[in-house]
Amino acid sequence: MEEKILAPEAGEKEVISKNFIEMEIEKDLAEGVYDHVQTRFPPEPNGYLHIGHAKSILLNYGLAQKYNGKFNLRFDDTNPTKEKTEFVESIIADVKWLGAEFEDRLFFASNYFEQMYECAVFLIKKGKAFVCDLSAEEIREYRGDFNTPGKESPYRNRSIEENLELFAQMREGKFKDGEKVLRAKIDMASPNINMRDPVIYRVARMSHHNTGDAWCIYPMYDFAHPIEDAIEHVTHSICTLEFEDHRPLYDWVVRECEFENPPRQIEFAKLYLTNVVTGKRYIKKLVEDGIVDGWDDPRLVSIAALRRRGYTPESIRMFVDLVGVSKANSSVDYAMLEYCIREDLKLKKARMMAILDPVKLVIDNYPEGEVEELEVPNNLENEALGSRKVPFSRELYIEREDFMENPPKKYFRLFPGNEVRLFGAYFVTCTGFEKDEEGKVTVIHCTYDPETKSGSGFTGRKVKGTIHWVEAGSAKTVECRLYENIVDEEKGKLNEDGSLNLNPNSLTVLPNCLVEPALAEAKAYDSFQFMRNGYFCADCKDSQPGKPVFNRIVSLKSSFKLPK
């Protein structure tokens, strides 16, 4: 689907690749079909946006940018039953956060109801639409199926005058819900079932979040959507593959309503991710059952959840770019999204010290009562992030897994007799340890060598392991939350009864982590690398001033795994 074109001015290896939508747009511009590019993102305000929507948003926005065009945010709010203002607000916030700039072009399809009504009247006057009294069930029966042509409605040949009169009465509320519909008069024998005189207006007494009770008739999606696009002078109406069979109807509507320079529809494949739950029905159940903490639970992939987890707009843009645009449905590995956030944060974030599972380390030959301020670099790969001071003293905490009484081969961390580097501080040699009655290590003892101070230029000897630590007296206790995928595709996403096969370990709460003092100041959405433990972000819901809760965004790739 991708065409690779050699950039003439660039070296042989460089290629500019265009996706098939870009190729279509360039063809249209070259042929003068359009003299500008206008795209839109048309969400239905019936839920929170997810990573799939992010792809659609960034695709539409990106195309507008690339071709000096404009991008609109338009709510496709023509079906009042499931729509809520809460969703309108969350969608606006999410689109803005992703950086898709719609400026003052925020539109609501419901503001076009009058124009849609006029389009319907126009079609009736052309003899292209008729009021039908068949029930929903009868309409279905008459429609036929893939193998059987449809049967024409007995109301199909009503006069234009009668149709105009009846349609006006539909609007005035003369009929009960479902009693009459307006249908396009196209072709009951069409091989495309969508073209068999589709319903374009129905009577439905529903209060609308925007228009209230002004209307008791509502347009159907396939009629409303092309009109919305045409009103906004959209050129390329980009949607997902399930609308491919609806394209002839889209074209019919804009043609018969005689819009000038009508928009065209182009379809692409939806984005699916492995090991995540995207279906609204499933998420709703997870929320209702209290398994997740709302639509923005960090284990979900709604945009709000990704933001709360600590994903950045940049990482999502990188992900969407890497995935590309395709005509074939496929699932993308969740690990790719993780790769993108690691890449984005790698050079941007300070690498701090936090101990998730603390055990005490006592440096027996370090002066009692003394506290040193050590200068440590914030990011060894990015000097621009500068350095900070961290306290150091005789008593520290280290990760429990950084000590072993009887280590396996290639374990380079602390064990009796072994020397390691304490990051940014000194070399220490393990001299012993204490255990409680259950055999759990409670204190590790060591001695330090003052000569080996970090930054002193010491070259006397090398050690294989570097471990991180926090100073006992100044460390702050915080809660950290570790996540695993909520479902595991390899183990089967669903149980036999159709319910989700949930991973019981999707959330681990560690209430007693110890962090260096600076981390206690973290505010909602601040993120850091916790050395060797991954990237963490201060939770926006549960953090308190001076007492943040940290969500692990993603782990670092680990070079060594303890044998189980």
Give residues in contact with ligand ATP (CB under 6 A): 42-44, 47, 52-53, 55-56, 239-240, 270-271, 280
Least distance to ligand ATP, CB of residue 131, Å? 28
Question: What would the two tokens of residue 532 be?
Answer: 């060797």
Query: How many chain residues are in contact with Mg ion, going by CB under 5 A?
Result: 1
Least distance CB 37 / ligand ATP (angstroms): 17
Considering beta carbons, is residue 44 or 314 the nearer one to Mg ion?
Answer: 44
SS3 224: helix
Residue number with CB closer to ligand ATP (53 or 552): 53
CA gap 407, 468 in Å, rounded: 19
Q: How far is the CB of 60 from ligand ATP (least distance, A)?
A: 8
CB of 109 to Mg ion, least distance (A): 13
Contacts 24+ apart (CB under 8 A), 412-420: 412/463, 412/464, 412/465, 413/465, 413/467, 414/361, 414/444, 414/446, 414/465, 414/467, 418/465, 419/463, 420/463, 420/464, 420/465, 420/466, 420/467
Nearer Cβ to Mg ion, position 25 or 109? Answer: 109
With CB under 5 A as the contact rule, the residue among 44, 133, 165, 372 that binds Mg ion is 44
What is the nearest approach in angstroms of Mg ion to the Cβ of residue 42? Answer: 10
Nearer to ligand ATP, 55 or 70 (CB): 55
Distance, CA of 311 to CA of 290 (rounded, Å): 23
- Return the one option of Mg ion, ligand ATP, none that residue 70 interacts with (CB less than 5 to 8 A, by type): none
Instruction: Say how far apart CA 530 and CA 516 lie, in whole Å.
Output: 10
Write out 306-342 in H/E/C secondary structure: HHHHCCCHHHHHHHHHHHCCCCCCEEECHHHHHHHHH
Give the residue with the Cβ less far from ligand ATP, 284 or 461: 284
For ligand ATP, give the closer residue by CB, 231 or 323.
323
Strand partners, 309: none
Q: What DSSP element (H or E) covers 303?
A: helix 303-309
Binds 270: which of ligand ATP, Mg ion, none (CB < 5-8 Å by kind):
ligand ATP
Q: Which residue has the tokens 């049967």?
A: 151
Piece of the chain touching Mg ion by CB under 5 A; list 42-50, 90-98, 182-190, 531-539: 42-50
Phi, psi torsion values for 563, nearest 5 degrees: -65, 135
Closest CB to ligand ATP among residues 271, 340: 271
The item of ligand ATP, Mg ion, none sharing an interface with residue 280, based on CB under 5 to 8 Å by kind, is: ligand ATP
Closest CB 246 distance from ligand ATP, rounded Å:
12
Nearer CB in complex with ligand ATP: 47/534: 47
Query: DSSP class of residue 36?
Result: S
Long-range contacts of 328-332 (CB under 8 A, 24+ apart): 328/1, 328/269, 329/241, 329/269, 329/270, 329/272, 330/269, 330/272, 331/272, 331/273, 331/274, 332/271, 332/272, 332/273, 332/274
We find the least distance from the C-beta atom of residue 411 to ligand ATP, in angstroms, to be: 44
Q: Which residue is nearest to Mg ion (CB)?
A: 44
Residue 83 CB, nearest approach to Mg ion (Å) = 11
**CB closer to ligand ATP, 141 vs 245:** 245
Q: Which does 56 bind (CB under 5 to 8 A by kind): Mg ion, ligand ATP, none?
A: ligand ATP
User: Nearest distance from residue 105's CB to ligand ATP, in Å?
Assistant: 16
Which C-beta is closer to ligand ATP: that of 269 or that of 515? 269
Q: How far is the CB of 27 from ligand ATP (least distance, A)?
A: 22
Shortest distance in whole angstroms from residue 245 CB to Mg ion: 16
**Half-sphere exposure for 19 (CA within 13 Å, toward CB):** 19
Q: How far is it, in rounded angstroms, from Cα 563 to Cα 203?
A: 67
| Binding-site partner at residue 53 among ligand ATP, Mg ion, none, CB < 5 to 8 Å by type | ligand ATP
Query: Using an 8 Å Cβ cutoff, are 378 and 385 in contact?
Result: yes
Q: Which does 109 bind (CB under 5 to 8 A by kind): Mg ion, ligand ATP, none?
A: none
d(CA 315, CA 322): 10
CA dist., res. 86 & res. 45, Å (int)? 8
429 neighbors 419 (Cβ within 8 angstroms): yes
Closer by beta carbon to Mg ion, 77 or else 197: 77
Of 44-52, 238-246, 315-323, 390-398: span binding Mg ion (CB under 5 A): 44-52
Question: What single DSSP character describes residue 517?
Answer: G
Residue nearest to ligand ATP (CB): 52
Residue 42 binds which entry of ligand ATP, Mg ion, none, with Cβ cut-offs from 5 to 8 Å by kind?
ligand ATP
Residue 251 binds Mg ion, judged by CB under 5 A: no
Nearer Cβ to ligand ATP (44/256): 44
| Nearest distance in Å: CB 242, Mg ion | 10
Judged by beta carbon, residue 53 or residue 476, the one nearer ligand ATP is: 53
DSSP code per residue over 531-548: TTTEEEEE-TTT-BTTB-
239 binds, among ligand ATP, Mg ion, none (CB under 5 to 8 A by kind): ligand ATP
CA gap 225, 123 in Å, rounded: 16
**By CB under 5 A, which span of 38-46, 101-109, 318-326, 416-424 interacts with Mg ion?**
38-46
Minimum distance from residue 244 beta carbon to ligand ATP (Å): 11
In angstroms, the CA 216 to CA 207 distance is 8
253 contacts which partner out of Mg ion, ligand ATP, none, CB within 5 to 8 A by kind? none
| Residue 31 structure tokens | 């042929």
Interface with Mg ion (CB under 5 A): 44
